[in-house]
Amino acid sequence: MILHLRAAVEQLYAVPPARFTPLRSELVAEARAAGEKALATSIGGLRKPTVAAWAVNHFVREHRDEVDELRSFAALLREAQRTLDAEQLRLLGRERARRVDALADRVAEVAAQDGQKLGAGVAQEVRETLTALIADEEAEASVLTGALVRALSYSGFGSVDVADVVALGDADDADDADDEGEASRPSLSVLPGGGGDTVDLEERRRSRRTAERARLQSALDAARAELRAADRQVAVLTARQEEVTEGIADLERRLATARARLDKVTGELDEAAGIRDRSERQEAAAQQALDAHDDGD
């Protein structure tokens, strides 16, 4: 007997798509029979997941270790973004697409083993969901519930829209703020002046050279700091550019799939229209023959 909504969610989002609606009806009936009208209403309102969402949910439940490997990679990438590690960003950025494609293929493989083959469009939605998991911690948390109702998507910048993507929302999101230490700055020291009325010319010359060297060193330090900041900015923008480029590539693949579907439907429509035209001509000829026969009588 289901006496809690979360228990119903655990059952419903673990079954294949074809079983979802019948099982939901069974659980609603059980809740009503137990006098739990509010629970029955809540269960009845649970949304059926899309095929892509089901495939991801199923994989998360059955192969959590493989999902955790992607999460570890995501943590490394986010850390590189936080610390503006240019070298790490370049390396991990190139690795991201390979890992997403590999795990998306595994999701499709596992789904097929359980009787649910994924078409090209659904497989692309799975890739987008895994990409969103890497990009955003809230998206990752949503995927780990195993109760997605639709696929996620990431445009390459900003956060992922996770509104209404999970069967049951959690209210325990914590705002974890990262404490960033103050950037270290070079300490400057003042050189003391001479203590007597008579100043040694060599000492004065050394003091001037020391002061000039300190000024040049300070300028060099400032230039190096600006260079480091510029390097970090270039790394961040390069990573964002790669993300946007990948997003464009994904959209182009989806567009190509949509165009192929359009071509297929257009061909079928042309064929159906030809059949209709032939039928119209046959109908007109038959009518004409019948009219001629009637006139002959």
Instruction: Report how far residue 150's alpha carbon sits from residue 55's, in angstroms, rounded to the nearest whole number.
Output: 10
Tell me whether residue 19 is in a domain.
Answer: yes
Structurally, the chain folds into a number of domains equal to 1
**Would you state the pLDDT for residue 200?**
47
pLDDT of the residue at 196: 39
- Residue 144 identity: L
CA–CA dist 66, 57 (Å, integer): 13
Q: Tell me if 99 sits within 8 A of 70, measured CB to CB.
A: yes
Contacts of 35 (CB under 8 A, 6+ apart): none
Does some domain include residue 30?
Answer: yes
pLDDT at position 217 is 84
End-to-end CA distance of the chain: 78
Residue 34, in any domain of the structure = yes
pTM of the model: 0.57
Contact 23, 15 (CB under 8 A): yes
Long-range contacts of 164-173 (CB under 8 A, 24+ apart): 166/142, 167/9, 167/12, 167/13, 167/46, 167/47, 167/49, 168/5, 168/6, 168/9, 170/141, 170/145, 173/138, 173/141
pLDDT of the chain along its 297 residues, tens only?
556 888 899 999 999 999 999 999 999 999 999 889 999 999 999 999 999 999 999 999 999 999 999 999 999 888 888 887 777 778 887 889 899 999 999 999 999 999 999 999 999 999 999 999 999 999 999 999 999 999 998 877 777 888 889 987 643 333 333 333 333 323 333 233 333 333 344 565 566 678 778 888 877 877 877 777 676 767 777 777 777 777 787 778 888 888 988 988 898 889 888 999 998 899 898 898 888 888 876
Full residue range of the structural domain in which residue 30 is found:
5-44
- Tell me which residue has tokens 């595994």: 106
Whether residue 37 is contained in a domain is answered as yes
Contact 4, 31 (CB under 8 A): no
Q: Does residue 23 lie in a domain region?
A: yes
Phi first, then psi: give them for residue 280, nearest 5 degrees: -65, -40
| Residue where the block lists tokens 């992922």 | 160
Q: Does residue 13 belong to any structural domain of this protein? A: yes
Of 111, 131, 114, 92, the C-alpha closest to 253 is: 131
CA distance 76 to 55: 26
Residue 10 inside a domain? The answer is yes
Residue 207: what pLDDT? Answer: 67
**pLDDT value, residue 244:** 78
pLDDT of 62: 94
